[in-house]
Amino acid sequence: MTDSNPAHSAVQKPFRRLLLTGAAGNLGQQLRGALAAWADVVRVTDIAPLGEVAAHEEASIVDLADEAAVLALLEGVDAVIHLGGISVEAPFEDLLEANIRGLYNLYSAAQKQGVKRIVYASSNHAVGFHPVTEVVDIDAPLRPDTLYGVTKCFGESLSRYYFDRFGLETVCLRIGSSFEQPKNPRMLVTFLSYRDFIELVRCSLFTNRVGHAIVYGVSDNRTKWVDNTKAAFLGFRPQDSSVEFEHLFPVSAPTADLDDPTQRFQGGAFILAGPMEPKR
C-alpha cells in the first residue's frame, strides 16, 4: 500500500524541529507517531519516562518549572505542541508550579528563542460551569469549573498577551475527553477520538496563519455543547463520532435531581472536584 499523505514525503518534511511536551502522557503517546511525518526532528519531553526514543526524536526529562532548563529546551524549535502540565484537578500549589509558572517559562523561552507557534492544550474545563442546556461558542465567557480550569484560563490569557505583544501565535485546544472510548454518558458528548485529536493538531500546526485561536476539541458526536463555527478557518472537520459507543451506556430516563451540579453543568464531576487540599 502506498502512502498518499502528502505530509509523508521523504524528501523534505515541513518542519525542521517540533517540540512535544507531555510526551509521556496519554495524548502525547498518540501524537508521537504522527509527528514523525511532520518534522525532521521531534524533541519530546516530560517529567515521566519517555519510553523508546525513535531515530528522529530528541528526548529530555525537563521540569517546566525550571526556567533555565526550559529556555534550553526551546532552542532551535519551530513550533511547540504543549500537552505538559497537570490535566486534572490538583492542589493549587501543584497547579501553580506546573500550569502557571511552567507555562510562563514556556512562553517566555519561546519568545526569546524565536518560536513561531504554540499549540496549547487548554480544556473544556475552562468553560465547564456553563449549563448543559447551552451551546457555547469560542467567544463564550470563561466559566472554569475547577482550579485546574482557572489555570487553563490563565494559559489562554497569557498566550493572548504573547500574541498581541510579540506575534507569537497560539491555538488553544479546549479538549474534551480524548480516550480510546467514552467512559461514561457525559463523555458521549465530550468525546474526541485519537484520530480526530491528531487531525486537530495537524490543522493547528499547518494552517498558514492562526493568530490567537480557540477551538473545541470534540468529535462529531450526536449531542453538542460547543460550536466551532467561528474557528472554521482552522479547517478542523472531525471524522469520528461517539455514536458507535452509545450502546455502552444503557438508555435511561433522565436523572431526577435537577439540582445536582454534576448533572447541570458541562464540567460534570469536575464541578465538585476542587479545590483540593494540598498533600502534606
For the segment 172-211, give every residue that binds a second copy (CB under 8 A). 185, 205-211
**Does residue 19 belong to the site contacting a second copy (CB under 8 A)?**
no
Residues 6+ apart with CB under 8 A from 65: 97, 98, 101, 102, 105
DSSP for 193-226 reads: -HHHHHHHHHHHHHSS--SEEEEEE----SS-SE
Cβ closer to a second copy: 84 or 102?
Answer: 102
The CB-of-42 to a second copy minimum distance in angstroms stands at: 14
**Does residue 94 belong to the site contacting a second copy (CB under 8 A)?**
no
Q: Which of 232, 239, 244, 269 binds a second copy (CB under 8 A)?
A: 232
3-state secondary structure of 5: coil
> How many angstroms separate the CA atoms of 269 and 246, rounded?
20
**Does residue 68 belong to the site contacting a second copy (CB under 8 A)?**
no
Q: Which of 46, 57, 78, 89 binds a second copy (CB under 8 A)?
A: 78
E-assigned strands of 124-191? 136-137, 169-175
**Does residue 142 belong to the site contacting a second copy (CB under 8 A)?**
yes
The CB-of-222 to a second copy minimum distance in angstroms stands at: 4
20-59 binders of a second copy (CB under 8 A):
none
Q: Give me the helices (H) in 25-125, please.
A: 26-35, 67-73, 92-95, 102-113
The CB-of-123 to a second copy minimum distance in angstroms stands at: 13
**Does residue 100 belong to the site contacting a second copy (CB under 8 A)?**
yes
Cβ closer to a second copy: 49 or 250?
Answer: 250
Cβ closer to a second copy: 32 or 117?
Answer: 117
DSSP for 231-266 reads: GGGG-------GGGGGGGS---PPPS-TT-HHHHBT
Cβ closer to a second copy: 9 or 181?
Answer: 9
Amino acid occupying residue 66? D
> How many angstroms separate the CA atoms of 38 and 41, rounded?
9
Single out the residue of 41, 39, 38, 46 nearest to residue 21, CA to CA.
Answer: 46
Cβ closer to a second copy: 49 or 165?
Answer: 165
The CB-of-178 to a second copy minimum distance in angstroms stands at: 20
Tell me the per-residue interface mask from 251 to 280 with a second copy, x by CB under 8 A, - otherwise: xxxxxx-x----xx------x--xx-----
The CB-of-175 to a second copy minimum distance in angstroms stands at: 18
Residues serving a catalytic function are 148
Check: CB of residue 239 under 8 Å from CB of residue 197.
no
Cell numbers for 31? 501524537
Cβ closer to a second copy: 38 or 194?
Answer: 38
Q: Which of 143, 200, 201, 238 binds a second copy (CB under 8 A)?
A: 143
Buried-state track 136-147, b at ≥16 Cβ within 10 A, e below 16: bebeeeebbbbb
